Amino acid sequence: MVTVSVRPGDARLFGGVDDMTMARLVGNRRWMTAGRSLLAGAAIALTAATSLAQDLSGDMRRLLGAAKVGQSKIGVSIVDTATGEILFASKASDPLIPASNMKILTSAAALWTLGPDYTYRTELREAGGQIIIAGSGDPALADPELLNRSEPKLTVEDVLNLLANSVQKAGVAEINELVLDDSVFDRNYIHPTWPENQLDKWYCAQVSGINFHTNLLAFYPRPSRDGGKGSPSIRIQPEVPWIDIENRAKSTKGERNAVSVLRTKEPLKFRITGEVAVPSVAPIEVAIDQPTALFGRLLADRLKKAGVVVPIGDEYIRLINPDEQLPKGRTLAVINTPIADILKRCNTDSYNLYAECLIKTMGNHATGLPGSWENGSQVMLMLLSEKLGPAYAASTHIVDGSGMSRQNSVSPETLTRWLTIISRDRTIADAFIGSLAKPGEGTLKRRFLGARLKCDVRAKSGYIDRVRSLSGYVTHRDTGERIAVSFIANDIPGDVHGNVFELAEDVFRAVDSHLARRAAKQTPAVGG
């Protein structure tokens, strides 16, 4: 049996008994003297916190008042995670469209529901002439980005060949059927509220119980070799020689390409238009229709190349029937993906497919039924009610896991309270906070440029049409003091998007500056 784990490349909690109780336990007057010092230190810290709230509140009012954001609806919530004190709030309780800040709710809920040690497991089995792929909803299976980060680097063809060769090496000379068990999820692959004109984009990739290569095809156009007169050639990853390509693109001379790939209404037919001047290094990624069926055909093709006899015709490649009980058989290969890798891709890279698989996995895990957007969102709302209270759940609307839908709504206050509870929970805090991007990586790669931040910033950005959001933590590097921040803007006029973008960063910068000053003013609670 082949087993593969494809892997790419601080929360501080304080607690203890009060000083008077400790003094009674120890029975030592010297402890009482230290206790009075501790009380004095606590008073200093409380005074510093109060001062921070007052100073920060004033600066925030000035920031928001001076911002040129037109009629944008902007909600801001800033909370001290240790005390729960609200340091600043402006329209903080207003439900707003969160865009990808929805992933903050989804990823933490998945950690609480599945556990930080959860692993997605995809199995390839053989039973009585059947080859069975049993999916777990893993979004990372042959994800080209994760394969590129692995050691050694792998390609999607390596994964396909590994699966096919595991069948051949197990002594299977001939199969009579290839069955794709995607029953862990329902077969509603596309959320009905996603924008219809964007369903071929990578961020609207279909969601299945068996996902492969993030349910995309990657196109690499190259100009013709005859001096730019002929049609460009197209390389596709993974290799799918049977797809239909209508190549309307032209080769041209120049330094840049201006080319697009469109998915037509016919399955596996694509139209390429524009001009190709240089070989494409970055792929043009197109979400495909019926991705699980395509994966079945890809695997069948590679099985043939590995020397396994496979029946001719697509009817021998099928999805599992409802209520069908497949034989267990023998396991030939397993591909595992730890949830830590899923969370990192979900939050740092803001990859929508990962969030949608998490919400459906929660639904399956909690109900035993195929995971769906409906049962997954119910799990999340129940967790909101349990962790924050029924009022927070009642004011939150969850329809998908990634925030692609405009029907999601959550208040900045809900997000900062959620972030506060996460920060205090030893079981998930490190895993969750580590999954958020820091400046210079993922979706924050070009954020906070030139900012000399004194504290650690970990945050989740969000953007869809007329919506921008930025929520996360500012943590002091020495004291561990942490502040949760949520900024959500809706109804942004087209001419002020850049101003809103900068305002979100300014809010985090102000919190960074104030937290650094507060830590600098504090004196040790017990002197030497």
Residue-number span of the structural domain to which 310 is assigned: 119-341
Q: Which two tokens stand for residue 76?
A: 């801001």
Dihedral sign computed on CA atoms, order 438, 441, 447, 451: positive
d(CA 467, CA 74): 10
Q: Which two tokens stand for residue 208?
A: 């299945």
Q: Which two tokens stand for residue 387?
A: 């962790």
Pairing state between β 73-80 and 317-319: unpaired
Give yes or no for a contact between 40 and 466, defined as CB atoms under 8 angstroms apart.
Answer: no
CB atoms inside a 10 Å sphere around CB 337: 24
Q: Please tell me the predicted confidence (pLDDT) of residue 5.
A: 52
24 with 81, same domain: the answer is yes
DSSP code of 231?
A: P
**Average of pLDDT values for 97-104?**
98
Q: Please tell me the predicted confidence (pLDDT) of residue 439.
A: 97
175 with 303, same domain: the answer is yes
Q: If you write DSSP's letter for every residue of 392-440 in order, what string do you get?
A: HHHT-B-S-SSS-STT-BB-HHHHHHHHHHHHH-TTTHHHHHHHSB-TT
> Is residue 101 over pLDDT 50?
yes
186 with 259, same domain: the answer is yes
d(CA 492, CA 468): 8
What is the pLDDT confidence band of residue 411, given thresholds at 50, 70 and 90? Answer: very high
**How many percent of the chain have pLDDT more than 70?**
88
Tens digit of each residue's pLDDT (9 = 90 or more) over 193-210:
999 999 999 999 999 999
Q: Cα 244 to the chain's mean position, in Å? A: 32
Tens digit of each residue's pLDDT (9 = 90 or more) over 496-506:
999 999 999 99
Q: Looking at the domain assignment, is residue 225 inside a domain? A: yes
Q: Looking at the domain assignment, is residue 105 inside a domain? A: no
Q: At what angle do helices 412-424 and 102-114 cross, to 10 degrees?
A: 30
> Is residue 25 over pLDDT 50?
no
Rg (CA), the chain: 27
Q: Looking at the domain assignment, is residue 416 inside a domain? A: no
25 with 142, same domain: the answer is no
DSSP code of 49?
A: H
Q: Cα 203 to the chain's mean position, in Å? A: 11
Q: If you write DSSP's letter for every residue of 310-378 in order, what string do you get?
A: --SSGGGEEEPPTT------EEEEEEEEEHHHHHHHHHTS--HHHHHHHHHHHHHHHHSSPB-HHHHHH
Of 247, 248, 251, whose CA–CA distance to 224 is shortest? 251
Among the ranges given (40-54, 197-211, 253-267, 449-463), the one the predictor scored with the smallest mean pLDDT: 40-54
Give yes or no for a contact between 40 and 459, defined as CB atoms under 8 angstroms apart.
Answer: no
190 with 147, same domain: the answer is yes
- Which of 289, 316, 341 lies at the terminal end of a domain, its last residue? 341
Q: Please tell me the predicted confidence (pLDDT) of residue 3.
A: 55
Report pTM: 0.89
**111 or 253: which leads in pLDDT:** 111
d(CA 466, CA 250): 35
> Is residue 470 over pLDDT 60?
yes
210 with 326, same domain: the answer is yes
Q: If you write DSSP's letter for every residue of 148-186 in order, what string do you get?
A: HHSSS---HHHHHHHHHHHHHHTT--B-SEEEEE-TTB-
Among the ranges given (20-24, 247-251, 256-260, 438-442), the one the predictor scored with the smallest mean pLDDT: 20-24
Q: Looking at the domain assignment, is residue 448 inside a domain? A: no
Domains contained in the chain, number: 2
141 with 272, same domain: the answer is yes
Residue 335's identity, in one-letter code, is I
Of 374, 389, 437, whose CA–CA distance to 93 is shortest? 389
Q: Looking at the domain assignment, is residue 248 inside a domain? A: yes
> Is residue 31 over pLDDT 50?
no
Tens digit of each residue's pLDDT (9 = 90 or more) over 330-373:
999 999 999 999 999 999 999 999 999 999 999 999 999 999 99
239 with 184, same domain: the answer is yes
Tens digit of each residue's pLDDT (9 = 90 or more) over 46-70:
444 555 567 899 999 999 999 999 9
Residue 501's identity, in one-letter code, is F
Q: Which two tokens stand for residue 83?
A: 């005390």
Among the ranges given (56-60, 62-66, 264-268, 306-310), the one the predictor scored with the smallest mean pLDDT: 264-268
**Average of pLDDT values for 127-132?**
95
Q: Which two tokens stand for residue 527?
A: 């002197």
77 with 206, same domain: the answer is no
Among the ranges given (38-47, 114-123, 133-142, 400-409), the one the predictor scored with the smallest mean pLDDT: 38-47
Q: Looking at the domain assignment, is residue 483 inside a domain? A: yes
Residue 365's identity, in one-letter code, is H
What is the pLDDT confidence band of residue 448, given thresholds at 50, 70 and 90? Answer: very high
> Is residue 17 over pLDDT 50?
no
Nearest 5°: CA angle at 224, between 219 and 230?
A: 110
Q: Looking at the domain assignment, is residue 459 inside a domain? A: yes
Of 2, 78, 26, whose CA–CA distance to 474 is shortest? 78
Q: Which two tokens stand for residue 1?
A: 């049996």
Q: Which two tokens stand for residue 118?
A: 């959860």
Q: Please tell me the predicted confidence (pLDDT) of residue 381.
A: 98
d(CA 326, CA 204): 31
> Is residue 293 over pLDDT 50?
yes
79 with 225, same domain: the answer is no
Helix or strand run (H / E) with residue 441: none
Q: Please tell me the predicted confidence (pLDDT) of residue 322.
A: 86
**Over the range 181-213, which residues count as b (16 or more CB within 10 Å of their CB) and which as e?**
bbbbbbeebebeebeeeebbbbbbbbbbbbbbb
Among the ranges given (6-10, 97-101, 133-137, 407-411), the one the predictor scored with the smallest mean pLDDT: 6-10
**Average of pLDDT values for 322-327?**
90
- Which of 341, 368, 399 lies at the terminal end of a domain, its last residue? 341
Give yes or no for a contact between 77 and 472, defined as CB atoms under 8 angstroms apart.
Answer: no
Contacts with 338 (C-beta within 8 Å, 6 or more apart), sequence order: 5, 7, 117, 118, 119, 120
68 with 125, same domain: the answer is no
Q: Which two tokens stand for residue 134?
A: 């049993």
Q: Which two tokens stand for residue 129?
A: 């002439």
Q: Please tell me the predicted confidence (pLDDT) of residue 227.
A: 63
Of 257, 269, 272, 276, whose CA–CA distance to 294 is shortest? 269
**Average of pLDDT values for 176-188?**
97
For residue 278, the domain's CATH number is 3.50.80.20
For residue 493, the domain's CATH number is 3.30.450
Of 280, 99, 116, 292, whose CA–CA distance to 214 is shortest? 292
136 with 171, same domain: the answer is yes
Tens digit of each residue's pLDDT (9 = 90 or more) over 138-165:
999 999 999 999 888 999 999 999 999 9
**44 or 122: which leads in pLDDT:** 122
Among the ranges given (11-20, 235-244, 434-443, 467-476), the one the predictor scored with the smallest mean pLDDT: 11-20
- Which of 306, 325, 341 lies at the terminal end of a domain, its last residue? 341
Is the bond preceding 241 in cis, omega lying within 30 degrees of 0? no
Q: Please tell me the predicted confidence (pLDDT) of residue 45.
A: 45
